[in-house]
Structure 1
Amino acid sequence: MLELSTPVQYVKGVGPRIGEILAGKGIHTVGDLLHYLPFRYEDRLNPRGISELRAGEMATVVGEVRNSGLFRTRRMPIFQLTVGQGRARLRCLWFNATYLQDKFTPGQMIALYGKVEEDPHNRELQIVQPQFEILGDPTDSGENGAEKKAAESLEIGRIVPIYEAIGRLTPRWFRRTIRTALDNLTPDLADPIPAAVRAHLGLISPRAALWNVHWPEPGESFEALQSSRTPAHLRMIFDELFFIELGLELKRREQKAQTGIAFQLDDGVRAAIKKILPFHPTAAQKRVLKEIAADMEKPYPMRRLLQGDVGSGKTIVGFEAAIIAIENGCQVALMAPTEILAQQHYFSARRILENAGYRIVLLTGSLEADRKREVRRHISQGNAQLVIGTHALLEEKVEFAKLGLVIVDEQHRFGVLQRLKLMKKPAEGEERSRASLAARGDGVRASATSAPAEPDVLVMTATPIPRTLALTLYGDLDLSVLDELPPGRTPIDTRVGSDEESAKVWKFVRKQVAAGHQAYVVYPVIAENEESELKAAVKMYRDLSGAIFKDLKVGLLHGRLDSELKDQVMRMFQRGELNILVATTVIEVGVDVP
């Protein structure tokens, strides 16, 4: 018997060579194969009479082979088969199908499935490229030979699963192979879901789910199958989400077992926060800061996601959290996905925090080498209290004296590993220090000291994520939501228009510019390519500045511009010297414009 952990090559009909092909798609075991699910189903129940067929419908037909033959045209050979039911006849065609030449003999019973079409020349019905299965030969004894084979068929008389092909492995191959695997699967399939949960939710067994998702029971709703809402699908969906959430919960417990920094939130820290506030915070900002501060007081590392619309005040909340860490003698790293946003945070931080005596530095990839070395020295010596930067913060040369808080802005732009690398900076620095001391013979053993405290992490996003989805995707993070805009903020009005309505859009833009406003025109790609139908920002800039808005001042901003030019364009737009800014998604990440 097969177990779910059995290598897939041991399924009958697979073997080592096909096993390698399957491995290329991540199918290594019997369990992987059985979780290669149909992407749709075809209803091949109830074979139709030829006289009942109508052009345009998908139909299953069982008939007797009358004649067949190959005829050649200038373009390709075409194989033609005629099947009959009494006096009714149906023609079937296959292109380039010389391999079918000796396949059929008159009198055979055959099942066909395909789309019924009308021949444009003689108006007769035909099926082009049908799937077929031979049910019986004229020599088969009795009437039940073909009927028995039809009842056992995997191709007709049932709802048939359709799989995505992998190379030469066709959907039909997957049907046969998966059926073989299911037939030989051990009956003692363990159920990892607790019995109380199964009973409460009415979940079917894993074995029944695997059978029914591939081979639905007679009477199963075809609509439920197509929408993946059958009991079998629901069981498999539940399993997947259950183990995702279980993994996230285990990850949360691991995090709470790690050594963190228990920050003190005393009157001095509260006074320092109030001192830097440029405006009265909203109720949502107060609530969120309270949640963050409560996390930072705990002895294990904070892992929190802060979600809020553009303009909701995420940045000032991030600065308040930074004050808590700095006032406790720690450094703070704020990582942004683009240099434009990093520079904006840097200027905002200087405006809000520098007057209170906090030392702030900017580290980006475009800084000159001498300036980079100087900034890294300030960071490693602990002179820099708030370090703002891009991916440059992840470089090995960047060492923190005492990193206590990591803030990641627009976290969806960073991979999990990038976040993790910045979080592990204190451990890397301590390991290098211990290695250096050991090399000098200072008597310090690397294994003798305890693991360094991990910094708290606050990740921020303006991407609207429904709460249930956020808890699913980021279940290892606690969630805070800024659901209130500061007074005076205008609600955002979102509308969708097609390319055919572009004239109306440009008319609206011109009207807004005439009223003293500015406009962004955003395109997700920089250069056109064959794989994308999206318009390129560069081409649109030429079209808008050269024709549609040639009387207005139009700018262009994208990630491939050098740092100085990016900064110049952004400053011009901020000062109102440009009416329209054509940009890629570098401006998606909260660039401030009055």
Structure 2
Amino acid sequence: MMTPETQKQLKITDVSAKKLDKLNLNTAWDLVLHLPLRYEDETHIMPIKDAPIGVPCQVEGEVIHQEVTFKPRKQLIVQIADDSGSVLFLRFIHFYASHQKQMAAGKRIRAVGEIKHGFYGDEMIHPKIRDAESSGLAESLTPIYPTVNGLNQPTLRRIIQTALDVTPLHDTLPDALLGRLKLPHLAESLRLLHSPPPSFTIHQLSDGALPAWQRLKFDELLAQQLSMRLARQKRVSGTAAALGGDGTLTQALRHALPFALTDAQERVVSEIRRDMAQTHPMHRLLQGDVGSGKTIVAALSALTAIESGAQAAVMAPTEILAEQHFIKFKQWLEPLGLEVVWLSGSQRKKPKTKPKPNSPTVPSKSPSARTPCFQTTSSSKIWAW
């Protein structure tokens, strides 16, 4: 939630602060980085006859007719004509008496919205309306922000502009790097995206190729990489038992296999074995297509843990897959003198803790210190320790 100090600094009411909280906008920097979803061009008037279909535009004309119809539902129909005599219909399904007064016959108004082919002819549905005689044209493209009910665009634009004015937009990147990458400064980029001048087209601002967009994308990727680097350093600083293994079980399984490992499998097994021998936790995702041989890699990794005097567990996302692994691991590991145990979420607690003798789905005795366990959980990751 926004602090009272920030509310006072940005001149935000309690009601607006609650609306902003729904958008997770609670600091001045949150607001500065709340970028437009799109832009509307209200810097010039488009003749009605030249206005494109399906593209936001601004037209101006005199109200020549207004009526409330009830077919197929209650709605306000306003007809305007510009100086060339071209006519456009404005349709409002939700309206108040103030709207009817604002668009009374003879009034000159501006309408901003998308023109579509309608029942009455070319029309705008619920366009944004301004009094043409009392309001001037916008000096820059109008940003349209993601918002919530009760927080309109003018209010959000004013709040963001205030945040831009009071927030020190210090650059974190050296000028030499910006020059080499041909990227603008952060303050320049943010101000341009929030208040682009008329010289920029909506297309330029929307395709993401603008240097201002490129600068923010660069900062986002840099922050992501730095976060990953810090997380990696934190993981490395943790401690875990080193599981080196003497290689006896892994070599025995290799000799018993009716196939040889591929070069990729050999490389991955070596990397995993090296990671497990470290004194910090392993953090690795093994990726491969169906049938590429991930299961045998998991089995060899489990044997490395067992060689070191530990147990190993392999978790599968479904009970069917866990049972398939159970059968495969029994074929591979029982000839090595190891007992393979299957535990599933559908089992009752007692069989899990005190398995019945000769049960086909649970061990006939409690797992020893050298027993790999295979358990189904909601996780799809494979862990070996």
Q: Same-fold call, TM > 0.5?
A: yes
Distance 2:300 2:256 in 1: 8
- What CA distance in whole angstroms lies between the structure 2 residues aligned with 1:110 and 1:9? 36
Letter in 2 for 1:15: T
The within-5 A match list for 1:263-278 is: 263-266=243-246, 268=248, 271-278=251-258
Confirm or deny that 1:185 pairs with 2:183: no
The structure whose RCO (Cα within 8 Å, separation 6+) is larger is 2
Q: What is the Cα-based RMSD across aligned positions, in Å?
A: 3.5
CA separation of 1:109 and 1:271: change in aligned 2, threshold 3 A:
same
Residue 148 of structure 2 is aligned to residue 166 of structure 1? yes
Partner of residue 331 from structure 2, selected from 329, 337, 351: 351
In 2, the alpha carbon distance for the partners of 1:132 and 1:369 equals 67
Can you give the 5+ residue segments of structure 2 that lack an aligned partner in the other structure? 356-361
Q: 2:366 matched to 1:385?
A: no
Alignment match, 1:280: 260
Corresponding residue for residue 242 of structure 2: 262
Instruction: Answer whether contact 2:60 2:109 (CA < 8 A) is retained.
Output: yes
How far apart are 1:194 and its partner, in Å? Answer: 4.9
Contact in 1 for aligned 2:40/2:142 (Cα 8 Å) = yes
1:296 and 2:294 correspond: no
Q: Which runs of 5+ in 1 are unaligned?
A: 138-145, 153-157, 393-407, 412-418, 424-454, 457-594
TM-score by length of 2: 0.82
Q: Decide whether aligned partners of structure 1 residues 293 and 195 sit closer, same or farther in structure 2, where only a CA change above 3 A counts.
A: farther
* Distance (Å, rounded) in 2 between the aligned partners of 1:56 and 1:209: 29
Is the CA contact (8 Å cut-off) linking 2:236 and 2:280 kept in structure 1? yes
CA displacement at 1:112 relative to structure 2: 2.0
TM-score (norm: length of structure 1): 0.56
Q: Give the AA of the match of 2:18.
A: E
Contact 2:32/2:160 (8 A) holds in 1:
yes
Sort the Cα spacing of 1:224 and 1:288 in 2 relative to 1 into closer, same or farther, 3 A. farther
Residue correspondence of structure 1 range 411-560 to structure 2 within 5 A? 411=381
SS in 2 for 1:320: helix
Contact kept, 8 Å, 1:6 with 1:30, in 2: the verdict is no
Q: CA deviation at 1:274?
A: 2.7
Matches of 2:276 and 2:195, distance apart in 1: 53
Kept in 2, the 8 Å contact 1:92–1:130? The answer is yes
* Shift in alpha-carbon separation, 1:81–1:383, aligned structure 2, 3 A: same
Identify which of 58, 61, 67 aligns with 1:60: 58
- Quote how far apart the aligned CAs of 1:209 are: 2.3
Question: Shift of the alpha carbon at 1:339?
Answer: 1.0
1:150 — aligned with what?
Answer: 137
Count of residue pairs brought into register by the alignment: 376
| d(CA) in 2 for partners of 1:57, 1:259 | 59
Residue of structure 2 equivalent to 1:39: 37
Is 1:103 matched up with 2:102? yes
Deviations along 1:535-576, one digit per CA (max 9) or x if unpaired, are xxxxxxxxxxxxxxxxxxxxxxxxxxxxxxxxxxxxxxxxxx
Question: 1:242: how far off?
Answer: 1.7
Residue 115 (structure 1) aligned with residue 114 (structure 2): yes
Mapping of residues 101-250 of structure 1, within 5 Å: 101-103=100-102, 110-117=109-116, 126-137=123-134, 149-152=136-139, 158-182=140-164, 184-186=165-167, 188-250=168-230
SS at match of 1:101: helix
Query: Would the aligned equivalents of 1:44 and 1:159 in 2 still touch at CA under 8 Å?
Result: yes
Q: Identify the residue that residue 516 of structure 1 maps to in structure 2.
A: none
What is the alpha-carbon distance in structure 2 between the residues aligned to residue 379 and residue 165 of structure 1? 61
State the match for 2:359 in structure 1.
Answer: none
The secondary structure found in structure 2 opposite 1:263 is coil
C-alpha separation in 1, matches of 2:205 and 2:294: 44
